[in-house]
A = this chain, B = another copy of it.
Amino acid sequence: MGRGNITIEDVAREAGVSRQTVSRVINRSPNVSGSARSRVEQVIETLGYVPNAAARRMGGARSYLLLAAIEGGTAGELAGRLPLDRMLLEGLAACSGQGYHLMFKQISQERDLASALTSLTPDGIVLLPPLDERAEFHHMLERRGLAAACLAERHEHGRVLPGLDEAGFGEAATAKLIEHGHRQVGFIAGDGDIVRSRRRIEGYRRALAEAGSRAHRHFVSEEPRDLAGAIDLARGWLAPTIRPTAIIAGTEAVALGVLQVAHELGLAVPRDLSLLALEDTSGLARSHPPISTLHQPLGALFAGACMRLIEAGEGGGAIRPQGTLTPAIASAAHVFMPRATIARAPRAV
Contact = CB atoms under 8 A, between A and B. Distances in A.
A283 to B, nearest CB: 6
A252 B180 CA distance: 34
A92 B105 contact: yes
A319 to B, nearest CB: 11
This chain's copy number in the assembly: 2
Interface in A1-47: 2-6
A324 interface: no
Contacts of A242: none
A176 to B, nearest CB: 24
A79 B89 CA distance: 10
Interface string A280-318: 001100111000000000010000000000000000000
Interface string A109-126: 001001100111100000
A98 interface: no
B253 A118 contact: no
A191 interface: yes
Contacts of A111: 48
Contact of A85 (B85, B101, B226, B260): B85
Contacts of A227: 256, 283, 286-287
Nearest to A7: B118
Given A85-B84, A89-B75, A103 B101 contact: yes
A63 B74 contact: no
Contacts of A106: 89, 92-93, 96
Interface of A: 2-6, 48, 50-55, 57-58, 60, 63, 70, 74-75, 78-80, 82-86, 88-90, 92-93, 96, 101-106, 111, 114-115, 118-121, 144, 191, 226-229, 253, 256, 260, 282-283, 286-288, 299
Task: Please list the 3 inter-chain residue pairs (A to B) with the smallest Cβ-Cβ separation, ordered nearest first.
Answer: A84-B85, A75-B89, A54-B57
